[in-house]
């Protein structure tokens, strides 16, 4: 289905929980969060009902996020049922990778096609600092595991932070030399905890790309029209380098996605607080379809972060879905 600006909307990102087994400094406060009762969250059956309705409107790509989606009990069941829905061709997850190594085989068997793994540093001490508790070795093992079983492409999401990982840019590029992974450098967004860091710690993709081009023989790679990433490769390397630049280079004109939070709020735009709660229509298929259509037609032309240097959304990323 097309939105009011002629964009084909075929991608639904679904947050399963606001809970996480890490406390990344740009995502969650140090003291943690007030946990929602599990009864407030959408049940798997609710999620599947929404996906089935969305699929009739042209949604064919599903990504599960969090919080951390892999802490959810029986997520293999959800993946399997999602993959079996008519019209759904791609099921993916975004994860911190801590639990992924031991779960990867079952997830792939269930129908998981792709994984994105969050990793902001390749140094163990810095990883523990930014996550406040994480184990880098567990994440690296998960990357190796996914590659070994063909759960590819493996995409690694790296939030650019001045004064933290700007000295590791070359290390991340070298990571793609012998491994067929996509390192995706993501500009920090002034949303949630990121608002506290943005003024001093944001680092533009343009600066990082120039640094890479000054040190490597970089060639541009093709991407799909709806892709949010600008893709490059060092000549002769197995993997790719990408840039997701919501601040310095808007990709709103080709946005193809909706978001669904763990409490049932459909968000037409990540950076707006305008939502449509779908809980009230889960038992009314016709109304559910109408609300999904309203969400698609309600997508704004673009976000306004670059002019305000902050998101209009007052929610944290762990509440919306990473």
Known binding site: residues? 13, 20, 24, 26-27, 63, 67, 94, 118, 155, 189, 252, 255, 257-259, 269
**DSSP-assigned states of every residue in 181-200:** EEEEEEE--SSTTHHHHHHH
Please state the residue numbers annotated as binding site for [4Fe-4S] cluster: 20, 24, 27, 252, 255, 269
- Dist CA 76 CA 307 (whole Å): 42
Please state the residue numbers annotated as binding site for S-adenosyl-L-methionine: 26, 67, 118, 189
For 208, counting Cβ atoms within 10 Å of its Cβ (0-12 exposed, 13-18 middle, 19+ buried), the class is buried
The CA-based diameter of the chain, rounded to the nearest angstrom, is 58
Quote the tokens at residue 179: 């491994």
Q: Going along the chain, which residue ranges are E strands?
A: 11-15, 61-65, 90-95, 114-118, 154-160, 181-187, 218-221, 229-234, 240-244, 257-260, 265-267, 276-277
Please state the residue numbers annotated as binding site for GTP: 13, 63, 94, 155, 257-259
- Dist CA 274 CA 52 (whole Å): 23
Q: Are 174 and 190 in contact (CB under 8 A)?
A: no
Q: Which residues contact 313 (CB under 8 A, 6 or more apart)?
A: 191, 270, 271, 272, 273, 320
């Amino acid at each position: 289905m097309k939105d009011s600006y002629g964009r084909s909307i075929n991608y639904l990102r679904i947050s399963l929980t606001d809970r996480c087994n890490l406390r990344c400094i740009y995502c969650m406060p140090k003291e943690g969060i007030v946990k929602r009762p599990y009864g407030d969250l959408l049940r798997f059956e609710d999620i599947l009902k929404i996906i089935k309705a969305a699929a009739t409107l042209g949604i064919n790509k599903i990504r599960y996020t969090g919080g951390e989606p892999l802490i959810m009990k029986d997520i293999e069941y959800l993946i399997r049922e999602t993959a079996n829905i008519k019209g759904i061709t791609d099921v993916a997850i975004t994860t911190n990778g801590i639990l992924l190594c031991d779960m990867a085989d079952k997830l792939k068997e269930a129908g998981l096609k792709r994984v994105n793994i969050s990793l902001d540093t390749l140094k163990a001490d810095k990883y523990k600092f930014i996550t406040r508790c994480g184990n880098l070795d567990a994440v690296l093992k998960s990357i190796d595991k996914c590659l070994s079983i063909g759960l590819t492409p493996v995409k690694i999401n790296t939030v650019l932070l001045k004064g933290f990982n700007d000295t590791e840019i070359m290390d991340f590029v070298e990571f793609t030399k012998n491994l067929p992974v996509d390192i995706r450098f993501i500009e920090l967004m002034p949303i949630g905890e990121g608002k506290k860091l943005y003024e001093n710690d944001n680092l533009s993709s343009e600066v990082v790309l120039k640094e890479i081009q000054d040190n490597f023989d970089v060639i541009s790679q093709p991407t799909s029209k709806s892709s949010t990433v600008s893709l490059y490769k060092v000549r002769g390397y197995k993997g790719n380098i990408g840039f997701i630049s919501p601040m310095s280079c808007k990709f709103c004109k080709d946005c193809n996605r909706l978001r669904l939070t763990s409490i049932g709020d459909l968000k037409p735009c990540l950076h707006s607080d305008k939502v449509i709660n779908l809980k009230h229509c889960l038992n009314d298929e016709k109304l559910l379809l109408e609300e999904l259509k309203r969400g698609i037609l309600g997508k704004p032309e673009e976000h306004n972060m670059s002019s305000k240097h902050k998101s209009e959304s007052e929610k944290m990323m762990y509440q919306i879905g990473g």
